[in-house]
Each structure stands twice: as structure tokens, then as C-alpha cells.
Structure 1
Amino acid sequence: MRKEIPWNLIIAKLERTINSDDDQLLAEWLSDSKNLQAYEEIAILWNKVQERADGYTPQPAHYWNQVAKQLNLPSVRKERKRLHSIRNIYKVAACIAVLLVSSLSFYFGTTWDFTSKTSQQCYTNVNGKSQVTLPDGSIVWLHSNTTLAYNTDFQKNNRIVNLKGEAYFEVAKDKHKRFIVHTDGIDVAVYGTKFNISSHPKNAETSVSLLEGSVAFTTANNPQESFLNPGEVAVYNKESHQVSITREDVDMNAAWATPTVQFSNRSLGKICTVLSDRFDVTIRIAPELADKYLYTFTLHDENIFEILELIASIHPIKYTFNNDGTIDIIQ
């Protein structure tokens, strides 16, 4: 049985508020070398932030940028009016460091199947996005609340992975071994291609967006293979078991993971939808602005601050970063 990260125990340990019973439970979890490695990474980052907080003289933007850089979070280019004390800023930063450290070295675990003498490698990404390189060289980006698992005999006889959540795949070519993704209600098979799958357990639908190459898929009630061409999206309804195939701008469906994103005459509403997925943040836009302006530009490695400043420089909008982590955009 796979053990999840005991965040409540870890935070209590780092805050030195853990009781003896919980300390024993945490010690049992830490007896696994991989769990210990993950804990040590979290503790190092936590301690760095706490050191900055003690006896600090005001430079909050400077040290926040250091934490942001380690966590792949947006930096602060100019200091704004402070709404919290210096110590509160770093308390928040420390909490973010612990909760989002999975975006850097996301949690992985191993379970054993003693009947087949194989084990399963499992990766879970909690927040943001994380990259996994599989044994065959395939690259997989995992979105928030996503788990990817495969047996440790991967690539010997087959290339099979199990997915819960959303992931973008760049599959290494191997004409002798198909790459198969098992997900909720639909299986996708390829030899080498780029595609995005969204299959969260709570969602009523599973979607497959094909960017390059060709994929075949089967569903829970139809073992006969159907095929997608680049630019097509297959949507499987988990209740009706029906599949619809449409042509869409599939680049936008995978824009949360791809290195660059090109917007050509895109509305602010559509751009904000992409930014929300790309940076895992809620963006609320005034209804009258959603289709009022069109934009053409290319994203590379800019953070959310830089992108919003660019948008505001093209057309007159105002944006606000709220204490709850959301963003509001108004005229």
C-alpha cells in the first residue's frame, strides 16, 4: 500500500509542535530512505526561510524572490505596499515552501506486487507542474493533483502507464513497443507522439488532445480502436460512454505544459484561461473585458507578473493580486 506524504506531521515537526505519538508515526514514515530524502529537502528549504525571518532588516522582496526562484514561483520586481509584518511574510513563505515543494521534487513511492515479483513506481504532483522522464526517454508533464504510475518492468515487454489527473506526453519513438496510457474509461496507444490527457476522477469527461503524430484509443465499452489526427480532441463521457471527436486549437489545451505559447489575435478571456492553467491560479476577469481586446504575443519563461504587465501595456487594464492567491482584472 502506498503511503502518502503526512503533511500535518511534517509541518508539526518543523514547527516543533509535534507530540510524541505523532513523532513516532513520522519516524516510521521516515524509515523509508526515499521518504527521508523528501523530508530533508523540505526541512532545508524551511530552515532557510526561517533563518531569513529571525532578526531581519527589511528586504522582503529580495528574499521572497529567493524562495520564489527555488519553487518556480513568480518573482516580485518592485516592492509594493506591505500588508503584513516581515515575520508574517516569511511565515507565509515557509508554508508555501512546504506545500509546494512537490513542484520541485514531487513525491514518489514504490509498491510491490509479490505475486509477479514486480514493483510499481508512482509519481504524484500536488501543485503547479512537474516533469517526469520515463525509462524509455519519454517526457511527461504532470499538472496539479495528478498521479502517474508504471511497473518497474516498464520497457521490457511493454510501455504502459496509469494516469489519474492531467498530463502532457512527449513519447519517445519505438516502433516495436506501443506506449499505452490507462486512464478512467479510455486507453490511449501510440508509438511516438505529443498529446495531452485530462482525466480527473471527479470530472464527468476524459479528453485526449493530439498535437503531433497519431494515437489510437479504446473505451471501457468499445474495444475497437479509433484514431485521432493532429488537431483533434476526443472527449469520452463517463456516464453515457459516448465519444465525440472535434477539431480544436489543441496547442491551447497543452499550453499549461509546453515551453512556449503563441497567442495570435486571442481574446483576453481566452488568454486568462491559459494563464490560469499554466500558473495554477484563479483569475477573475470583468465580463466586459473578456472579448473586448485581442492580443498577439509569445510566452517563453515569463512569470505571471511580467505577462500581466505586458498585457496592461498593450491595452488599459488593471490587475490585483489578492491575499488568497487569486487575481482580479478590471478596466
Structure 2
Amino acid sequence: MEDKSKEYWLEIIYDSLSGNITDETQKELDTWMLSSAKNQAFYNEIVELYTLMDFSSPNEVFNANAAYQQFLSRKHKTVYSFRQKVLPYISVAAGLLIAFTLGNYWTKDQQLPTGHLVSTITVEKGSKTKTVLQDGSVVWLNSDTELEVASDFGISERRIKITGEAFFEVTHDDEAPFIVETSGLDVQVHGTSFNVSCYPEQHDIRVTLVEGSVELSSKNGKTFRMQPSQTVIYDAKEKSYTLIKGIPDYELAWRESKFIFKNKKFSELTVELERIFDVQIQVNDKALLNRKLTGDFINNEGIAEILEVMSSLGKFSYKINGRQIEIF
């Protein structure tokens, strides 16, 4: 039998345990596992790891490198959190594809680099993080998001630029207004908690105000002052505001690692799934792209579980091959 890497067998074992394995590949795994005591021990270790997974709070921090070294040296003495056990295997170095679950992508708090005209934090697909700005304001960053902070932040104003999605808890300061700049809209804050969603592929910018007050200013000079428990959608193409009274569940679901959508086009949902799980989705049946779906995934469902439910609603089939997903 061809000598394949441990990374290869880790992926195959996970496919077997999660039910995403073909009969032919299962036979290959069985043969490999029974070919030596070393392979059997490695298989048993991964099974133990899989069964001990727990879904802990997304606010908990972890040290991925330390966890990986612990695994390699076989020094696990206690039950580590899911992220401590699994994230090492999805690092670039390990090249593994084990973590496909909504709640698994919070990284440790990031610090803004210093000594640059513009400090930038970039959050990759499949991750989320939190950072604390120089003024004490806290920012939670969703996956595939970039935050830029100028070196003069806090001198006369506190201006940051964001592409993607973030939730802010802003420290009040009358002498230095806090301004969030997006591609089509500025959000001036008066000490408050709010969410901004402005991904490049979206034609609209969504702002959800939890408490306090914010004033929206579009690039063409149109303004809108928000009150708590309001969501405003700014259509950059039409240059218009739409007010939603109350906060729909789906607006803040990402912070709790939930995936909630209502009457959303399948084309938009695939983009979100790619962002959340760091996968690539190819839709062969183009008629599916305009189909609208409603869903509520709140229990840390994985990509396979979500697609299984969505396929029954959307009447499509799918195939998962590592991080490549084909829908037809």
C-alpha cells in the first residue's frame, strides 16, 4: 500500500466518523488500520479526540500552537476544549480539514500592530476574533473581515475603516467622536453597542443598533439618526435607507455562532457558507441560485448537517470532498 501522510489519514478518519466516506475509501481505511499496531493506535487516538469534543463558549481564548504541540507529544492529560483539540489540524502547516462546525472559529484576541501609519487586522474565512482599541472600545470581527486603524486614532477623532462585519462596544468620549467608515456609509457613534455588515459582495450596508445612538452619513450626504433596537439597511445603489423596527435574529446570530436566514437567495447563502466554513462551493444547477430559503441553525451544526437540511428544502443534491463542495 502506498505510504501516505498522517494528514491524509486524519482527513479520512474524520470522514469516516462524520459519515462522509465512500465504501471504497472505508475499505482503504480499514486495510490501513489493520496493517500495523502503530496505525491502529493512531486511529484510536483520533477516535478518542473526536468523541471528547465539547462546544465551549466562543469568548474563550486558546493557544492553537501549544495545543498542537501537546497533541504531537502525546501529553494530553485532561479534556481540552474543541478548539484546542481541533484547530491545530486545520492550520496550514497541518493541512487538515477536520473543523466544519459553526462554533469552532473564534481565535484568541488580537492586538493591533504598532509603528505603522495604518494598523490592520485581517480575519480569514472560517475565523472570528476580538480586539480592544487604544481607547478601550471592544470590536468583535466576523470572518473575512478587515479592520484598519490610523496612527492618529484618538487625537481629534477615532476613525476606523471596516470591510466585512463587526460588532462594536464603544467607549464614550465627547472630545473624540468615534466614526466607522465603510465603502458607502459613515457611522458616527455616541457611546454605544452596534453591528455593521458591509461585505464587498453585498449591495447594501446593514447597521443594527443595540443601545445608545448612531448617525449614518452616506457618501452623497444623506443622513439618518438611529434609535436603540433598530436595524437600517442602506442601499448603496439606490442611495436610500430602509428602517426595520426591532432586531431580527439573523442580524446578530454570527456572534453566537448561529446561522439564521429568512427568504434569502441561495446564491447569497453559498457565499455566507464559504465565508463561515472556509470552503469553496460550486453550484452546477444555476436555477438554484435564485431560490429563496429560510433556516435556523442554532446548535453548532456543521456544514454537512446544514447542507443536508437545505438540500431537502431546496431540492438539490451535494457532494463534499474536503473543502470542495459541489451542488447539483
Q: Would you say the 8 A contact 2:320–2:326 is kept in 1?
A: yes
Give distance in 1, aligned partners of 2:194 and 2:19: 38
Q: 1:110 aligns with which of 100, 110, 114?
A: 114
The answer for unaligned runs of 5 or more in structure 2 is 30-88, 98-104
Within-5 A mapping of 1:74-223: 77-78=18-19, 80-81=21-22, 82=25, 95=92, 104=107, 109-112=113-116, 120-135=118-133, 136-144=136-144, 146-151=145-150, 154=153, 158-163=157-162, 165-172=163-170, 174=172, 176=174, 178-190=177-189, 191-198=191-198, 200=200, 207-210=205-208, 212-213=210-211, 214-222=213-221
1:326/1:103 Cα in 2 relative to 1: closer, same or farther (>3 Å)?
farther
Structure 1 residue 166 displacement after superposition? 0.8
Give distance in 2, aligned partners of 1:289 and 1:128: 24
What TM-score results when the alignment is normalised by the length of structure 2? Answer: 0.54
Report the counterpart of residue 5 of structure 2 in structure 1.
Answer: 53
> Residue 53 of structure 1 aligns to which amino acid in structure 2?
S
> Residue 18 of structure 2 aligns to which amino acid in structure 1?
R
Secondary structure class of the residue paired with 2:114: strand
Q: Would you say the 8 A contact 2:278–2:323 is kept in 1?
A: no
Secondary structure class of the residue paired with 1:278: helix
Structure 1 residue 234 displacement after superposition? 1.2
Q: Would you say the 8 A contact 1:252–1:274 is kept in 2?
A: no
| 1:306 and 2:247 aligned | no
Secondary structure class of the residue paired with 2:126: coil
Give distance in 1, aligned partners of 2:8 and 2:95: 24
1:140/1:287 Cα in 2 relative to 1: closer, same or farther (>3 Å)?
same
Give distance in 2, aligned partners of 1:246 and 1:166: 20
Within-5 A mapping of 1:23-62: 53=5, 58=9, 60-62=11-13
Q: Would you say the 8 A contact 1:168–1:254 is kept in 2?
A: no
Structure 1 residue 181 displacement after superposition? 1.0
Count of aligned residue pairs for this structure pair: 245
* 1:64-121, Cα deviation, whole Å (9 max, x unpaired): 68xxxxxxxxx961351349x99xxxxx977575799x985789643445xxxxxx43
Q: 2:241 aligns with which of 228, 241, 245?
A: 245
C-alpha RMSD over aligned residues = 4.7
Give distance in 1, aligned partners of 2:318 and 2:289: 14
Secondary structure class of the residue paired with 1:231: strand
Q: Would you say the 8 A contact 2:111–2:132 is kept in 1?
A: no
> Residue 319 of structure 1 aligns to which amino acid in structure 2?
Y
Q: Would you say the 8 A contact 1:107–1:125 is kept in 2?
A: no
* 1:141-189, Cα deviation, whole Å (9 max, x unpaired): 1432x421224675676533222x2122232453646431123353211
Report the counterpart of residue 38 of structure 1 in structure 2.
Answer: none
Secondary structure class of the residue paired with 2:307: helix
**Higher RCO structure, 1 or 2 (CA under 8 Å, sep 6+):** 2
1:308/1:178 Cα in 2 relative to 1: closer, same or farther (>3 Å)?
same
Structure 1 residue 198 displacement after superposition? 1.2
The answer for unaligned runs of 5 or more in structure 1 is 1-51, 66-74, 87-91, 114-119
1:156/1:260 Cα in 2 relative to 1: closer, same or farther (>3 Å)?
farther
Structure 1 residue 196 displacement after superposition? 2.0
Quick one: percent identity of the two aligned structures? 20
Secondary structure class of the residue paired with 1:80: coil
> Residue 195 of structure 1 aligns to which amino acid in structure 2?
N
